[in-house]
Structures are given as C-alpha cells and as structure tokens.
Amino acid sequence: MKIQESGENYLETILLLKKKKGAVRSVDVAVEMNFSKPSVSRAMNILKTAGHIEIDQNGFIKLTEQGDALARSVYERHELLTFFLRKLGVSEETAAKDACRIEHVISAETFEKIKEAM
C-alpha cells in the first residue's frame, strides 16, 4: 500500500512533535493536527502496518528507519517551500499553509530546481 498524502502529514507531525517535545503519543498528534482521537488511532494503525512507525506498550510512537526517512523528506520539502515562498514575499502564515499543501504534490524534479534556485 502506497503512502497517502494524509499519511505523509501524520509522519511529518510525528517528526515535528518529536523535535519539539521528545516523546509522542497519539493524543499529541490529535491535538497538534486538530483531529479526533479515532482518526489518529486509525491513521497510526495504517502507518504501523505499513512499517512507518512502531508503538510501544506505553503508547509512545517511534518512527522506523523507513518512516523517519519519509518524514524527513516531507519536512525538508516543507521547510524549503516555506523559505522559498517567504523569499517571494508571501507572509509567514500563508507560506506555512501553502507549503503544507504543496509539499505533497511537487515532483522530485521541481523540488530540485527550487533547491537550486535558492
């Protein structure tokens, strides 16, 4: 099963929370993304089944090597796009919001070209 855009967002959020708070549980993801607990619960199961995360007995979420790579890749795209949009004069808030949407749909080629342009 190929990862979906929503899956990428969940992984990205997990990475973000890990940086920000150290440990991450489902409820943290739910609060951060403003989603219901059941939505996150199901999403975590899908990510677990796909081998992107592991959940220990205490409910703490760990990215697997694979999941971590994916999360970092999305996060990198996000950071670059935000920076790029800011350079174009887009406001911080809008840049973040748009980056979050664009990050899932741009090709590797476009990503590289933007990188070069910066």
Partner DNA sequence: AATAAAAGTTAGCACATCCTAACTTATTTG
Partner DNA sequence: CAAATAAGTTAGGATGTGCTAACTTTTATT
SS3 117: helix
Listing DSSP states for 46-85 in one string gives HHHHTTSEEE-TT-BEEE-HHHHHHHHHHHHHHHHHHHHH
CB of 9 to DNA, least distance (A): 7
Q: What CA–CA distances, in Å, run from 10 to 14, 21, 63, 118?
A: 6, 16, 11, 27
Q: Which two tokens stand for residue 62?
A: 């760990």
CB of 41 to DNA, least distance (A): 3
Q: Which does 22 bind (CB under 5 to 8 A by kind): DNA, a copy of itself, none?
A: none
114 binds a copy of itself (CB under 8 A): yes
Q: Which does 39 bind (CB under 5 to 8 A by kind): DNA, a copy of itself, none?
A: DNA
Q: How far apart are CA 78 and CA 81, in angstroms?
A: 5
Residue closer to a copy of itself by CB (options 42, 101) is 101
CB of 105 to DNA, least distance (A): 12
Q: Which one, of 18, 2, 6, lies nearest residue 68 by Cα? A: 18
**Binding positions for a copy of itself, 70-89, rule CB under 8 A:** 85, 88-89
Q: Which does 4 bind (CB under 5 to 8 A by kind): a copy of itself, DNA, none?
A: DNA
* Interacting residue ranges for a copy of itself, rule: CB under 8 A: 85, 88-91, 94-95, 97-98, 101-102, 105-107, 109-110, 113-114, 116-117
